[in-house]
Structure formats: structure tokens, C-alpha cells
């Protein structure tokens, strides 16, 4: 697992440092004329792709307005190529013409998605969770909604490390954002296709492994999602594996739990201890987010996604959907809660938890100077916080509309939120990023 994406904390305390990046050879450019994560115009209009290292993600400056509030006056018209039939420029960022997809398609958003992929792989410990794939690796993999192709490149490296260099990867998405991995020795092919339109451009039983990763913002609930699942089952070989990675977009707060990791599979308990995360299983106690700004975000997000028939909490639905499929069997999952900061009850310890509950109405005491987290655990949590903040930033247009705020009011709310989360460390009441991976085997034998 490459650790370049994880934010690091200096050993003597202080704020996080920039992620470490590796030097890579330039690849064929793709047009992404827009602003970067600091609000600066990308003058070259290109993003460099690599199977090993996506573009670096910079720490965010909470003193500036969000990206979409920065005017794109210096964005050049001649930077747009033939893909202008797919893209449009709105709020200073590049979007699909189809307004039902709420996220931008530009460099900052691609960075965020790659950062999430890196974080999820860190927490899961590997890029594929289905245990069948380790003992019996696939020959043909389909990455549905591949985006920049970062997951496929990680999966290629993973299988290669196990001695399986002949695995072929096919990515499919509405627009090509990934570099040509075939030039880097990877068996790679990209197919351009709108995933909401069926059938998919593949033969029956063509692939051994299908991965659907973070499609809850792209595929509406109801018949669209069912048709997508039916198509995935069609192109999957009998005995093949379907794996789904998703994130709950609404933020909840994890509560102290007396349950130990004894009831959790060994692999998950080891990963949880190493990364400072918490496996999610039936009975894991959650409450609504306690942070005021994350409460605002949850309310606006649910309203905005409901208008688009998109789910704000897709993780609650996936297991049930797979279990109802007659063509799928051996359904299983791994879920983790990644706290956004060090939680109060962690720092105070189990022995003082009762005393803390009894004194909630009194003025809070000064927190301990030394964190209970290791550097690695703190890096994982800060990275999760950055992903949440960048997600809010990417969704700014629809969130601002749902909030009813004008531009000045939104920028004020944004500055307060950034200060609260980054300076005051106020996401310390158990607020978590919830991620999960589900998999199932198609009935029959190949």
C-alpha cells in the first residue's frame, strides 16, 4: 500500500503536513482546464495520469471561498476539446451536461476520488475484499464507472504482487478520464458508455470479476439501479464475483460500545487496530451527527439528493439487494467507520467515561496534550476528514440551493465550518465516514 496519500502529523504535535508524493513519468494528458484544490487556475489545462500515483492533494485553506465560488474568468475557451459535447462549465467547475449527476468532472474531484480509493484500500488492507479472488484470481475484470482508473491500477499491482501478471482490466464510464495504462505494461482497455443506458456493451458471461465503486451519485434509485444490477449479472460468468464499494454520504456519530473485537473476523480486527477505525456490525451504536455544521450538511444533502432520486445512505441497502437476487449467492461484506478526529471518549478512556457523562453540563476541561492515536491512525482520520470537506465542496451548488443561502451567506458558512472542523477539531463526538465493501458469487460454474 503506497502511503503518499495519507496526511502526516509531525511527531511533536501540530497540524498535518502535505501528503508525500512520488515522482512519476508524464503520461498522455487529458483536458481538465479548471481550478485546482487551492482555487488557482490550472493554466496548462492538463492532468497527468499514472497507475501508481494520482495527482497530489493539497491541504485546504479555510480562509478562502470554496472552489465553485471562485470565478472562472481565466478559463480559456480553446482549452475545451471534442469532449465539450459531454461537459459544460458551471460555477467555475466542469460538469456533465446531464445535471442529474451532482459532482463535477475536474481535477479537484478526481483527486478527491483517488484520495478516497487510497483511504479505503488502507482501511481494507487490499483493493479487493472478496476472499475468493485471492485463492482464485480472475482473468478478466470489469471496472464499472472506472473514473480515473486508479482502483484498476491498484488492483493490477496487487494481483501482480501475487504473481498474476496476465489479468486483463476493462474500464467503462461515460467519459474517458483514465490514462492509457496499456503503455505502462497493464492489460487495459477503456469503453465509453453511459452506465444508465442498458444493455452494457459486453457479451454474456464475459468477466470473472465486476467491481462497482461509488456509483450512488450516478445511478438513481428504483428501476435504473435494478437494470444496472441485472446487466452486471448478465456479463458476469457463472461462479464469478460481483463486488460493490460504497460510502454513506450522511455523517453519523459513533458511540462508545462495550463490544470487543472478539466477534469480528480476524482480518477486520487487525485492520481496525492498525488504522484506528471501527468495524461496523449489527448493533454498532450510532446517533445523529453532533457537529452543527455536519448537521447542516446532512439536512441539505438529503434534500438535494432526494430531488434527484439518489440515496444519501446507500450502505444500508446493498446487502438486502444482493440477498434478493436469485442469481447471486455467498453474500458477505466488510464495513468500517472511520472517525474524522480523535474522539472524546477515546482520549478520556473507558474508566472516565461515566464521569464524563455525569459532567456533560459542566464546563469542559482542557483536553490532554498527547493524542491516544498513533501517527498512522491520525493520518487515516485526517484524510477521512479532508475527503468529507472536499465532498461538501464538490457538492456546493446543490447544497447552497438546498440551504437557501446566497453567495455571501454560503461563503460565511463555509469559512465557519472550515475553522470549526480544522482549527477547533469539533468533529470529536464520533462523527465518522462510513465505508463498506459487499460481494457475492454468481450461481453456477464457469
**Angle between helices 292-307 and 407-418 in degrees, nearest 10:** 130
434 pLDDT tier (thresholds 50, 70, 90): very high
Beta-bridged to residue 254, according to DSSP, are 286
Between 1 and 439, the higher pLDDT residue = 439
86 pLDDT tier (thresholds 50, 70, 90): confident
> Phi-psi region for residue 61, left (φ > 0), alpha (ψ -120 to 50) or beta?
beta
Residues near 17 by Cβ (< 8 Å), separated by ≥ 6? 7, 8, 9, 10, 59
Q: Could you give the 3-state DSSP secondary structure of residue 19?
A: coil
Across residues 312-328, what is the average pLDDT? 95
Mean pLDDT lowest among 7-11, 63-67, 440-444: 7-11
Rg of the chain, C-alpha, whole Å: 22
CA distance 68 to 72: 9
Across residues 396-410, what is the average pLDDT? 97
pLDDT mean across residues, the chain = 82
CA distance 209 to 139: 8
Each residue's pLDDT tens digit, 347-362: 876 445 445 445 544 4
Each residue's pLDDT tens digit, 293-311: 999 999 999 999 999 999 9
Return the pLDDT at 99. 73
Beta-bridged to residue 21, according to DSSP, are none
Across residues 246-263, what is the average pLDDT? 84
Q: Which among 412, 327, 376 is positioned nearest to 9, based on CA atoms? A: 376
Between 438 and 33, the higher pLDDT residue = 438
Each residue's pLDDT tens digit, 322-348: 999 999 999 999 999 999 999 998 887
Domain layout of the chain by residue ranges:
1-8+24-359+372-446
Q: Residue 247 belongs to what H/E stretch?
A: strand 236-254
Return the pLDDT at 66. 64
Residue 372 clears pLDDT 60, i.e. is over it: yes
370 pLDDT tier (thresholds 50, 70, 90): low
Q: What are phi and psi of 121, to 5 degrees?
A: -65, -35
Mean pLDDT lowest among 219-228, 274-283, 334-343: 219-228
319-347: b (≥16 Cβ within 10 Å) or e: bebbeebebbeebbbbbbbbbbbbbebbb
Across residues 393-415, what is the average pLDDT? 97
Across residues 13-38, what is the average pLDDT? 40
Across residues 248-256, what is the average pLDDT? 97
Return the pLDDT at 356. 47
Return the pLDDT at 61. 52
Amino acid at each position: 500500500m503506497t502511503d503518499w496519500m495519507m496526511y502526516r502529523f509531525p511527531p511533536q504535535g501540530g497540524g498535518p503536513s502535505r501528503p508525500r508524493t512520488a515522482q512519476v513519468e508524464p503520461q498522455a494528458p487529458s483536458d481538465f482546464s479548471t481550478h485546482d484544490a487551492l482555487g488557482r487556475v490550472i493554466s496548462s489545462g492538463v492532468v497527468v495520469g499514472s497507475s501508481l500515483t494520482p495527482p497530489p492533494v493539497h491541504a485546504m485553506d479555510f480562509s478562502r471561498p470554496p472552489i465553485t465560488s471562485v470565478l472562472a474568468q481565466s478559463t480559456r475557451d480553446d482549452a475545451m476539446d471534442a469532449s465539450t459535447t459531454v461537459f459544460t462549465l458551471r460555477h467555475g467547475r466542469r460538469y456533465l451536461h446531464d445535471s442529474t449527476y451532482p459532482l463535477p468532472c475536474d481535477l479537484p474531484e478526481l483527486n478527491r476520488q483517488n484520495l478516497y480509493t487510497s483511504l479505503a484500500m488502507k482501511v481494507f488492507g487490499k483493493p479487493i475484499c472478496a476472499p475468493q479472488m485471492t485463492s482464485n484470481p480472475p482473468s478478466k475484470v470489469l471496472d464499472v464507472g472506472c473514473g480515473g482508473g486508479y482502483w484498476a491500477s491498484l488492483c493490477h499491482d496487487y494481483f501482480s504482487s501475487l504473481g498474476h501478471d496476465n489479468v486483463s482490466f476493462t474500464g467503462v464510464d461515460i467519459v474517458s478520464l483514465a490514462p492509457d495504462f496499456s503503455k505502462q505494461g497493464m492489460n487495459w482497455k477503456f469503453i465509453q458508455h453511459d452506465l444508465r443506458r442498458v444493455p452494457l456493451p459486453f457479451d454474456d458471461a464475459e468477466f470473472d470479476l465486476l467491481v462497482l465503486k461509488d456509483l450512488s451519485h450516478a445511478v438513481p434509485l428504483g428501476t435504473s439501479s435494478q437494470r444496472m444490477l441485472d446487466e452486471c449479472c448478465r456479463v458476469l460468468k457463472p461462479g464469478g464475483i460481483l463486488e460493490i464499494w460504497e460510502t454513506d454520504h450522511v455523517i453519523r456519530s459513533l458511540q462508545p460500545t462495550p463490544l470487543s473485537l472478539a466477534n469480528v473476523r480476524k482480518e477486520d480486527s487487525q485492520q481496525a487496530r492498525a488504522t484506528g477505525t471501527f468495524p461496523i456490525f449489527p448493533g454498532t451504536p450510532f446517533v445523529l451527527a453532533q457537529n452543527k455544521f455536519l448537521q447542516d450538511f446532512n439536512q441539505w444533502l438529503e434534500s438535494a439528493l432526494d430531488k434527484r432520486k439518489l440515496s444519501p445512505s446507500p450502505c444500508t441497502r446493498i446487502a438486502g439487494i444482493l440477498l434478493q437476487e436469485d442469481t447471486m449467492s455467498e453474500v458477505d461484506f466488510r464495513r468500517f467507520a472511520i472517525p474524522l478526529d480523535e474522539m472524546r471518549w477515546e482520549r478520556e478512556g473507558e474508566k472516565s467515561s461515566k464521569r464524563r457523562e455525569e459532567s456533560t453540563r459542566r464546563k469542559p476541561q482542557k483536553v490532554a496534550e498527547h493524542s491516544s492515536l498513533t501517527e498512522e491512525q491520525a493520518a487515516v482520520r485526517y484524510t477521512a476528514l479532508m475527503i468529507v470537506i472536499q465532498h461538501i465542496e464538490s457538492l456546493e451548488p446543490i447544497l447552497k440551493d438546498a440551504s437557501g443561502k446566497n453567495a455571501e451567506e454560503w461563503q460565511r458558512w463555509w469559512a465557519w465550518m472550515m475553522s470549526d472542523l480544522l482549527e477547533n477539531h469539533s468533529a470529536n463526538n464520533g462523527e465518522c465516514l462510513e465505508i463498506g465493501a459487499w460481494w457475492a458469487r454468481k450461481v453456477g460454474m464457469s
